[in-house]
Chain A
């Protein structure tokens, strides 16, 4: 009984969150001083065509009615058509989200995979070389513009050293060697056994993913260091040392385990941040992801696309928040329900 009530309350909260998100985005979209019809007919179209298209798009109806129509369509699974691609928005998202997902996932794996050990090392060797490295990396990560770093990385690793492939997700030659099914090219090529194509996809992916990973790493390593320092100053660590437990075991099995509790939230939120699509990285690397899609649509007041993208981003955040909550409960026995 209690559980179902909690579930109902939870579902209501989610529904209200979505509704609020959509309402705010919708009304901002209708209020911004950009004429959505411009993107459809262009600047040279005669006035009567402009007016007719405005009527066809339902833009002359009262705002609340337009919003109501939109929400009722969404509930039926119809996200509308994108003005800019002539495709249903749902199709566009199915095409662009996997690209962002692949990039963000590899990015966070690099960011957390290197960031956490680096942060631990900096905490343990406080004031030492690792600590300075973490500090500098953090500073660079916050100060250097990502598009500049991205271009420099391309010039160095792609143009000069030839270590990685260039912008875009895959080379022309490999494009038709497999059939995209999930849109996550690493998975698609692996599932179909096209290993040369797999290597090519990875080669395209590694540089932008490392770039995003680097920026997550800067943040994650600082937070890890901070949480670890907190843990290592606790009394149980002193007690464990007195008992003769090895330093490595204390750091990894005990202190880190406890530091992971707040750290998991940091990592999931970083991941969510990457998943909403980083426009600048996508621009530099010609990565056809969600960030570019939403930004381009916003600049043209293509509201169906913007709202569709907003729903995706909102869902990502809600989902990852849930995940972080669950992980919290798993890692910290004190938070489990009585």
Chain B
């Protein structure tokens, strides 16, 4: 019995074959140019973007968005971050007593909406950030601005003149550096107030909308899907090279790589070291790397009596195989760095005294009363390279008799535990909030070590009480002479290296891969200084 033909009549077989062929042919598309020449397509994981309002945004991806679409009074030069230039400001001066800053704005500036940009917009934007008092507001309020006094402290003293009064005579570089932060971005007051609801200063509308004056403007944001920026023709300086920049949210590194290789993406931002290694060998693809202001560390909770012993703290610092980690696990994506200040900031030290020395560690442990080691746990996020580093550390620590139990967890879950001080050891990272050495003093500041303290810095999270270092940090912020300020940070870092409960590991390097027909693309040292509008396609 011929089952094939009895199973399906010839006619049915024919229909089935025709249907399949039609379906398959629908799937093939003619080879079109992968991406239009005036559009830059960036494959980027930006699921951390939750709001577009500079007054409340504090996420890395949003930082990049704001850096490309808004303006500030001053910005720093990406080639040399120690140099500041006026973005909206034509000039500025600091008073004799060091507490008053006056900015003259450039004339005839406009927002993307076409509304004129004046001192009133600058002042209103800064006041708004202080009044809303969201996550990043502290960058401004640390200069003594409160809801009650900000309208007197930040004023428009002329149509193009802005005056800012601080409560103390801070180092001028400190104040100006903070004004380059995203929270100090200038909003179109007229536009935002027209969308105000219930006196919210436009906060509800600004979460998903745009009111800036930068080189690019917002076209569309679909969360976790796509972000489209367009050239702002009202921009007062060099116009954006691409007419459009499209960020596509692609979480998976391998997928980003495929898109880049095929030409469906011009730049891929989140490739893993393995994918980077492979892609570099491909014809027509280049990479660019920049050290970021993010440092990785392992911290020791001082609430644990064993970890509180100074000899134990030091011993653990000698139990990390820094060179092996630097050569393998973080190859291309980081550089071993044993200080809390990232390289690139004024006063950052590059002294790295520690290396793997099991004997030295054992001697220190014996002195502390633990000749046979001890048991301890470490909380770790299950992502690379953090996971690889933790496992390597577990192995080297074992050689001195220390039994490290790894407690893996999801990102926010581990962070919640850390912030509640219920960990033994924790491996994490900290990024600079603004490009000034004071930003990472979070590692040393701890005014109140109580459980319900008002300030929960990194030092607090590890119950580390070091009043001397804290006072040094306060003094450094008021030191107006740059050379003396640098010397203060040098001293702080030396003491930190010796006594702190932080095993500093490495400074992050951000790498991007891009097709060779793209030029002018460069990653900034902070998230808001990666200017996509300067990249051009041939």
Contact = CB atoms under 8 A, between A and B. Distances in A.
A and B part of one assembly: yes
Interface string B451-464: 00111100000000
A83 B137 contact: no
B208 interface: yes
A166 B35 contact: no
Contacts of B262: 158-159, 166
B36 interface: yes
A166 B259 contact: yes
Interface stretch (A137-145, A168-176, A327-335): A168-176
15 contacts: A33-B413, A33-B416, A35-B416, A46-B135, A46-B455, A95-B225, A151-B254, A154-B258, A158-B258, A159-B258, A283-B252, A283-B255, A284-B255, A296-B47, A296-B224
A248 B6 contact: yes
Interface string B414-431: 011101000000000000
Interface string B110-143: 0000000000000000000000011111100000
B181 to A, nearest CB: 12
B107 interface: no
B259 A39 contact: no
Interface in A259-307: 283-286, 288, 292-293, 296, 299-301
Contact of B225 (A38, A165, A248, A288): A288
B411 interface: yes
Contact of B410 (A45, A86, A299): A299
B412 A284 contact: no
Interface in B30-85: 31-32, 35-36, 39, 41, 47, 50-52, 58-59
Determine the main DSSP class of A at the interface with B: helix
Contacts of B254: 151, 284
B198 interface: no
A164 B27 contact: yes
Contacts of A52: 133
Given A154-B255, A162-B31, A206-B27, A299 B250 contact: no
Contacts of B419: 35, 38, 43
Q: How large is the interface on A (under 10, 10 to 19, 20 to 34, 35 or more residues)?
A: 35 or more
Contact of A203 (B9, B29, B246, B249): B29
A311 to B, nearest CB: 20
Given A32-B413, A154-B255, 14 more contacts: A33-B416, A34-B412, A43-B419, A44-B58, A46-B135, A47-B453, A49-B138, A85-B224, A95-B225, A124-B7, A166-B264, A251-B7, A286-B251, A299-B410
B251 A283 contact: yes
Contacts of B413: 32-34
A191 interface: no
Nearest to B50: A84
Contacts of B261: 159
A85 B58 CA distance: 14
Nearest to A40: B50
Nearest to A32: B413
A284 B224 CA distance: 14
Nearest to A37: B416
A278 B534 CA distance: 38
B533 to A, nearest CB: 18
B433 interface: yes
B3 interface: yes
B398 interface: no
B18 interface: no
The 7 closest A-B pairs by CB, nearest first: A45-B135, A85-B223, A86-B207, A42-B58, A288-B225, A206-B27, A35-B416
A300 B415 CA distance: 11
Contacts of B454: 47-48
Contacts of B26: 199, 202-203, 206
B28 interface: yes
A206 B28 CA distance: 10
B1 interface: yes
B337 interface: no
Given A125-B3, A163-B27, A248 B208 contact: no
A203 B27 contact: yes
Contacts of B415: 35, 38, 43
B3 A124 contact: yes
A300 B241 CA distance: 37
B135 A49 contact: yes
A52 B207 CA distance: 19
A155 interface: yes
